[in-house]
């Protein structure tokens, strides 16, 4: 039997589950929006949501008047769902189907957001690639908002193993180019009532 690729794995999830059947579902991405408000960006800021899936974050950002938005995901099926939900408004977003570890761009962003995608990178090579991407593709003083399962959270997500981080690990991992401006831990309550303990941090590029 041939091994299922990562994109097939994720496409299958998005094609077979309804929106609120997945653990990470949330209509109101409150923590992300709080950090984005705290980042005090101009409405022209270039923002990318990495592993955005069918997150409602992009809907909220459009509503708030941000208009330089990209959403990247390994799953074309996930992005199709999000585009369908947005309807006409989807044309204001740059949609990128890519494994983040193969992402090639000449663009630089002012804000990089990632809720529960980075933690799927469990080997050092992929983690290093990710770090190089944020270093290279964020402008000076840009911000990085990242949410992962915490050290006391689940060690698997969607059937896959994840790397867990506490706030200190996140800061150490992204240092010295980034430092934490603020961070928090909390339980995300899944649609089925389960608890997932997250570490969520807003980091600023130091150079």
> Which of 19, 76, 99, 177 is in the footprint of ligand SAM by CB under 6 A?
99
Query: Could you say whether residue 10 binds ligand SAM (CB under 6 A)?
Result: yes
Query: Could you say whether residue 74 binds ligand SAM (CB under 6 A)?
Result: yes
What number of chain residues touch ligand SAM (CB under 6 A)? Answer: 20
Nearer to ligand SAM, 138 or 176 (CB): 138
Query: Could you say whether residue 180 binds ligand SAM (CB under 6 A)?
Result: no
> Which of 45, 157, 180, 203 is in the footprint of ligand SAM by CB under 6 A?
157
Instruction: Give the gyration radius of the chain's Cα atoms.
Output: 16
Gap between the Cα atoms of 162 and 164, Å rounded: 6
Query: Could you say whether residue 24 binds ligand SAM (CB under 6 A)?
Result: yes
DSSP track, 114-135 = EESSGGG--SHHHHHHHHHHHH
Nearer to ligand SAM, 117 or 142 (CB): 117
Query: Could you say whether residue 82 binds ligand SAM (CB under 6 A)?
Result: no
Task: Identify the CA nearest to 200 among candidates 181, 159, 53.
Answer: 181
Gap between the Cα atoms of 198 and 119, Å rounded: 11
Q: Where are the alpha helices (DSSP H) in the chain?
A: 6-16, 30-39, 57-64, 76-86, 124-137, 167-174
> Which of 116, 144, 170, 180 is in the footprint of ligand SAM by CB under 6 A?
116
> Which of 52, 138, 142, 144 is in the footprint of ligand SAM by CB under 6 A?
52
Gap between the Cα atoms of 178 and 156, Å rounded: 27
Residues that bind ligand SAM (CB under 6 A): 6, 10, 24, 51-53, 55, 73-75, 78, 99-101, 115-117, 120, 157-158
């Amino acid at each position: 039997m041939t091994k299922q690729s990562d994109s097939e794995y994720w496409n299958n999830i998005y094609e077979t589950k309804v929106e609120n059947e997945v653990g990470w579902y949330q209509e109101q991405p409150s923590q992300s929006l709080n950090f984005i408000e705290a980042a005090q960006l101009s409405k022209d800021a270039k923002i990318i949501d990495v592993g955005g899936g069918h997150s409602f974050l992009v809907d909220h950002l459009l509503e708030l008047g941000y208009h330089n938005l990209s959403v990247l995901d390994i799953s074309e099926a996930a992005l199709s769902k999000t585009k369908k939900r947005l309807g006409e408004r989807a044309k204001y977003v740059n949609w990128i189907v890519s494994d983040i570890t193969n992402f090639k761009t000449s663009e630089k962003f002012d804000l990089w957001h990632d809720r529960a995608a980075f933690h799927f990178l469990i080997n050092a090579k992929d983690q290093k690639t990710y770090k190089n991407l944020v270093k290279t593709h964020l402008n000076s003083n840009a911000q990085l908002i990242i949410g992962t399962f915490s050290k006391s959270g689940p060690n698997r997500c969607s059937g896959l193993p994840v790397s867990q981080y506490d706030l200190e690990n996140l800061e150490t991992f992204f240092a010295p180019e980034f430092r934490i401006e603020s961070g928090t831990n909390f339980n995300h309550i899944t649609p089925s009532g389960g608890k997932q303990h997250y570490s969520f941090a807003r980091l600023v590029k130091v150079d």
